[in-house]
Chains A and B, each alone.
Chain A
Amino acid sequence: MSILRQFSRLSICPTVKFQLNRNISTTSALTFKITEQLWAEPMKKKKKIDPAIVKAREERRRKKIEKQIRRLEKNARQLKPIDELEVPLHLMDSLKKYKRPPVQLSVEEIEARELLQKEWARYKRDEYMNNIAQVDRIMAAQRRALDRLYEESEDLYNEAIMPDLQLLPYTISGPVATPPIKDYESPDGEYIDVSKKWDN
């Protein structure tokens, strides 16, 4: 009877009504038992992990994260090519406050400005033509001198035509707005060159 009861637990629908039996037996009662149903495994015993190994694992995790951080920063430190640069967002937001009120110019002012532009164009053109004329004149003078030299003696002429190889590299410095003050001590100590270098 008890076997049935145990088996009934296996089935889905209850087949047997449970009856309360109190058995009296003279011999030792044989009670079979089936192990209880187990839908899952019993818990595994928790093994104690070596604390050193735990620490090693944590260390490795931390190092990995730091390495990634360093790699990101390295990327940020490199300079982007100019095509990839963008306007920083905080400037774009505050663009409005940087604008000036538009200037109203009177008609006379506008005309005066245009006339000034034209005068300047004329002045510049004259300057340019003068420059060209000067260059031509100097070149002509040299040409004439060389012709006369040729008439004088061919040898000298040939020597004069030869290019001067010791001329280049040649530097001249032009006039300054204010000449350097004599015995001037500049207030800064040293100059550290922070100019950026763009290679490639």
Chain B
Amino acid sequence: MQKKYKEFLLTVEFEKSMKSNHEIQHENDKKQAELFKAESQDVDIDAVNKVTAQDFEDAANEEYSKFKFGNLETDADKKGDKTSTERCLQRHLVLVTQRKLGNDSKTLLPQGHWQEGETLRQTAERIVKEQIGSELQIKFISNAPCGFYKYKYPSEMNGKVGAKIFFYYANYKSGNPTKSKVNWLTRKELDEMLPQKYSNAVKEFLIEETY
């Protein structure tokens, strides 16, 4: 849809615009060439530009085709390597680790227990450092949590019935995760990999993707 509209706008702009100097030179060159052919005498060799406008355009086009832009599909895309941040450059990626809950390990956003005397945000920072390594640079957006998830333990542990998880939003700046295996997932993969209710809660505070 956007492409169609863009082309439309370009044609309208072209129609309404005035000619550029390059175009006028091009027309003049054509006239000169025709006169040149029609009369066998030279009309005005000085007036005929040695580098005609057409030549200039062709040279420019050639240079453009020779130059290779960086590929959008990076190597990581082709390999399907999920641990690098160079994947899917057009999409949002979310960091996800493996975690053991009870007996099975699931893929979740990094989480951990809150300790007394810490604000929630400090807890989050500490968890990230412990679970992923302190090389990873992140920027937390706010002191307030952006999501909430509540679940019951399948069986009572330590006298507690369930856990409440508060999610904090942070943007990735630089660095590599060191400690545990980490995957960067797009929205679709998040859907598939995370357990369902959990993924519903997470999707609430993430921006949707329409393509």
Contact = CB atoms under 8 A, between A and B. Distances in A.
Interface of A: 97-100, 103, 113, 116, 119-120, 123, 127, 130, 134, 137-138, 140-142, 144-146, 148-149, 152, 156, 159-164, 167, 170, 172, 175-182
A97 B24 contact: yes
Q: Is the interface of B mostly helix, strand, loop or mixed?
A: loop
Interface string B50-87: 00000000000000000011111010000000000000
- The dominant DSSP class at the A interface is helix
10 contacts: A99-B18, A141-B148, A142-B147, A148-B164, A152-B164, A161-B143, A164-B140, A164-B142, A176-B89, A178-B69
B144 A100 contact: no
Given A116-B5, A138-B146, 18 more contacts: A100-B15, A100-B17, A116-B8, A127-B210, A138-B204, A138-B205, A138-B206, A140-B204, A141-B205, A145-B147, A145-B167, A146-B144, A148-B150, A156-B119, A160-B121, A160-B143, A164-B143, A167-B141
A178 B150 CA distance: 42
Nearest to A95: B18
Nearest to A105: B15
B38 interface: no
A142 B145 contact: yes
A160 B119 contact: yes
A144 B144 CA distance: 11
Nearest to A94: B24
Contacts of A180: 70
A120 B1 CA distance: 8
A116 B4 contact: yes
Contacts of A163: 143
The 6 closest A-B pairs by CB, nearest first: A145-B148, A178-B69, A141-B204, A159-B119, A145-B145, A179-B70
Interface of B: 1, 4-5, 8, 12, 15, 17-19, 24, 68-72, 74, 89-90, 119-121, 139-148, 150, 164, 166-167, 171, 204-208, 210
A148 B148 contact: yes
Contacts of B139: 170
B144 A137 contact: no
B166 A149 contact: yes
B171 A172 contact: yes
Contacts of B12: 113
Nearest to A100: B19
A154 to B, nearest CB: 13
A191 B4 CA distance: 37
Contacts of A137: 204-205
Contacts of B90: 175
A198 B164 CA distance: 57
A110 B73 CA distance: 39
Contacts of A176: 89
A181 B119 CA distance: 42
Given A98-B24, A161-B143, A144 B119 contact: no
A178 B148 contact: no
Contacts of A120: 1, 5
Contact of A179 (B89, B121, B207, B208): B89
B124 to A, nearest CB: 11
A137 B141 CA distance: 18
A140 B68 CA distance: 45
A160 B4 contact: no
A145 B144 contact: yes
A141 B146 contact: yes
A142 B205 contact: yes
Given A97-B24, A176-B89, A119 B1 contact: yes
A181 B70 contact: yes
Nearest to B207: A134
Nearest to B69: A178
